Amino acid sequence: MEVLLAEEYGFCFGVERAVEMVENALREGGGKVRTLGPLIHNKQEMERLEREGVSTMDAPEEADRETVAVIRAHGVAPQVKRELETRAAKVIDATCPFVTRVQRLTERAAKQGRDVVVVGNPDHPEMIGVRGHAPERTYIVRDASEVEKLPPLHAPIVLSQTTLKLKTFLEAAEAVRAKADAEPEVVNTICSATRDRQEAARALASQVDAFYVIGSTHSSNSMKLLSVCKEQCERSFLIETADDINPQDLKGVKRVGVTAGASTPNWLIEQVITRLHEIGRAHDAAQDA
């Protein structure tokens, strides 16, 4: 069985940067390193960081003068950052630069008296943080169907959650035109890593018999990768670790594709590839017996 890895996969720039910032804080010392919410959406990587001394807090009130507080890659609302700064010994802002761009565009448009429509999951931490930059003028919609429920929009800007599928964003942006009193400003803020991973996964999924996306069900970009792969390869699976692979799913498979979400570390990817090779050798041996 041939195991093929997508051309783009795993840690994106923003996640890698956030992990490096936390590891640097551990080396420098100066307090208890605590992230506000999980740093990234990967349970196994968070467990690794916990073993190194990183803990998680659920609210800014948990910080004290011994805390080195880390804002995770998804970002937070301005008032949350201000509260952390008043409570913690130090605040490290590990917000992904792509997310920061969405926040700044939202803030700028609202100051101009314009409405902001962001296409994404309103319950996702990234979107909660973005809304916090202009709560009185920002609308979060999942897709084009939700745009229809919005009130009339004044000179809107249309933005995207950084991990969204491009098709969903473009359809929603088109729907905003019918609600706007002027031509909307449409800015594609899907991060390049998300786009590149989706395109690479789509290309590979059309060439294999089965496909594995390594990531968490809590990870928006991993779920979008799975959706993209299923469009090309019906036998596509989302797994967190090598232990989640069912050898029965690979019976008769000649080629299997692999990709990983932007929060998936290399060490987990290597474990999955090793396990797939083991299953492939076992299947080949059974056929030869």
Joined together, the tokens standing for residue 150 give 């919005």
Residues 6+ apart with CB under 8 A from 106: 116, 118, 130, 131, 133, 134, 138, 157, 159
Amino acid at 43: K
The Cα-based distances of 91 to 26, 36, 126 in angstroms read 13, 10, 18
Q: Is residue 191 part of an annotated ligand binding site?
A: yes
β-bridge partners, 213: 238, 259
Give yes or no: 126 in active site. yes
Report the alpha-carbon distance of residue 185 to residue 140 in Å, rounded: 16
Asked whether residue 277 is marked as a ligand-binding residue, the answer is no
Residue 233 labelled as part of a binding site? no
Question: Is 188 flagged in the annotation as binding?
Answer: no
Q: Is 96 annotated as a binding residue?
A: yes
Q: Which residue is catalytic, options 8, 45, 126, 240?
A: 126
Compute the residue count for the chain. 289
**74 among the known binding-site residues?**
yes
Could you tell me which of 64, 72, 59 has the C-alpha nearest to residue 22? 72
Residue 12, annotated as binding a ligand: yes
Annotated binding site for [4Fe-4S] cluster: which residue ranges? 12, 96, 191
Q: Which residues form the catalytic set? A: 126
Annotated binding site for dimethylallyl diphosphate: which residue ranges? 41, 74, 124, 219-221, 263
Annotated binding site for isopentenyl diphosphate: which residue ranges? 41, 74, 124, 219-221, 263
Annotated binding site: which residue ranges? 12, 41, 74, 96, 124, 162, 191, 219-221, 263
